[in-house]
Chain A
């Protein structure tokens, strides 16, 4: 309107149409989009879980292994997305021996899996495997997002097996006023959801994430991509991120039921009321050094939710690292690559 003439608009629309016509051809020729760049070897498998070891990038990696526990709701290759955006590569470059749990894709056979299975059995077996393999009493654990909450539970139940704990964008207090995911799930009949689907579909979770900012995430983003359609590298990066966003596994029903009700709706983690198997999770039992990494502009896990850990964990050596960015930027932004892995590695190697 202001400053916009009909001729200028017509010109802009024509240019957009041309780019659209050309761009759809470019997209069709984009080929297979791969994600995950660092060489890795499977070292342990159980059901659909695969434990990977990333090939060290230094001659003598640190003797204590670092196990990364990612969330169940997305795929873990976000940690190793592409050459210049890989949190894992940064940790390897810093001399750490890095392992990661890939949970796989739950199907109908997994609907009865509980949080006890995920925490005591799966994480527990991976931790024990690494302790045996490396002949150490305790390993480093890095829990990411929901994987951080699972890691906190495991660590509280088995503090002797974890030498240092790093939590990254991890929700602890699920009832901070700005917690939008809790806000969305507050009135959902979780039992009905799980009983209906068995395994809640990944698409439903995707919708929940999208609904937090639909005009940007479902609209503007696709208009903006028209600007990079002739830049093969930028386009591949965009498509790689799209692949990750829509690559949402279904959730094992019983584990989802407990996580949604006990963590989101009832906020039991911070209250010390979560029960895994027959044991209550008390975060005061998290007594080893803890580094809590959060993103100051995180719209999914608000900083206050993560920082609640300070008041309820039992560690005398508790530190926080604030990253100026959002929930996704903390994995993939250029600044994150420069700031986060070196900081985590330095903190770990000093302990």
Chain B
């Protein structure tokens, strides 16, 4: 009898992936809404729209940066820039390793080396995220100068994604990233306990 469909069953769609990004979009929207409210108030009493825009972009930047510094402050907003680290942690958890707590029998020197490398990786991502905010501000300024309007939240979100892809892509292609991401995986492997693979 002929077969048609692939019989593999890799598990159903992980709705949590979608929900997490939906919550992030909502947090992004909420932050922008607050900026927009203040911009509207300021703009009513001022003729310098460019200055008001810069001022309120700074507010948005501060909110994202604060969430980045302490994801506990606004975890959904923090997700805006910790996507890759989050994906890395989900990956190693899916392989049977804890992302945050060292098991008792892990070599502490190896664990510390891994934590150190992960910290460096995080710093690199932070730098890139900050550059993305600079780029976004620049593009918004260019739009304002040319009279081009952004009329929906989704458009603004897409601009934010584009800016992050640009600065992340630049980082990804750097020798520094190649070396550091390799070192991160090697450091992880040195403190991984064989036999804990879940698959």
Is B48 close to A, CB under 8 A?
A: no
- Asked if residues A211 and B181 are in contact (CB atoms below 8 Å), the reply is yes
Is B17 close to A, CB under 8 A?
A: yes
> Would you give the 0/1 interface string for B10-43, flagging 1 where the beta carbon is closer than 8 Å to chain A?
1111110111111011100110110111011000
Assuming the A-B contacts A13-B30, A215-B161, are A6 and B189 also in contact, with contact meaning beta carbons closer than 8 angstroms in the complex? no
> Would you give the 0/1 interface string for A3-44, flagging 1 where the beta carbon is closer than 8 Å to chain B?
111101110110011001000100110100111111111100
Is A133 close to B, CB under 8 A?
A: no
- Asked if residues A16 and B25 are in contact (CB atoms below 8 Å), the reply is yes
Assuming the A-B contacts A1-B140, A180-B172, A225-B18, are A9 and B6 also in contact, with contact meaning beta carbons closer than 8 angstroms in the complex? no
- Asked if residues B53 and A1 are in contact (CB atoms below 8 Å), the reply is yes
A interface bracket (residues with beta carbon within 8 Å of B): 35 or more
Which residues in chain A, 48-75, are within 8 Å of chain B measured between CB atoms? Answer: 52, 55, 75
- Asked if residues B153 and A243 are in contact (CB atoms below 8 Å), the reply is no
- Asked if residues A33 and B13 are in contact (CB atoms below 8 Å), the reply is yes
The closest CB in chain B to the CB of A38 belongs to B4
In the complex, chain B residues whose CB is within 8 Å of the CB of A198? 194, 197
Q: A204 to B188, alpha carbons, bound, how many Å?
A: 12
- Asked if residues A12 and B91 are in contact (CB atoms below 8 Å), the reply is no
Is B88 close to A, CB under 8 A?
A: yes
Instruction: From the candidates A4, A40, A204, A223, name the one contacting B25 in the complex (CB within 8 A).
Output: A223
- Asked if residues B13 and A30 are in contact (CB atoms below 8 Å), the reply is yes
Between-chain CB contacts (< 8 Å), 20 pairs: A1-B35, A2-B150, A6-B33, A9-B33, A16-B29, A27-B15, A180-B173, A186-B178, A189-B186, A189-B189, A192-B190, A193-B189, A201-B199, A204-B185, A210-B87, A211-B84, A214-B168, A219-B83, A222-B21, A225-B18
> Which B positions have Cβ atoms within 8 angstroms of A?
2-6, 8, 10-15, 17-22, 24-26, 29-30, 32-33, 35-37, 39-40, 53, 56-57, 83-84, 86-88, 91, 94-95, 140, 143-144, 148-154, 156-158, 161, 164-165, 168-169, 172-173, 178-179, 181-183, 185-186, 189-190, 192, 194, 197, 199
> Which A positions have Cβ atoms within 8 angstroms of B?
1-6, 8-10, 12-13, 16-17, 20, 24, 27-28, 30, 33-42, 52, 55, 75, 77, 105, 180, 183-189, 192-193, 196-198, 201-204, 206-207, 210-216, 218-223, 225-226, 239, 242-243, 246-247, 250
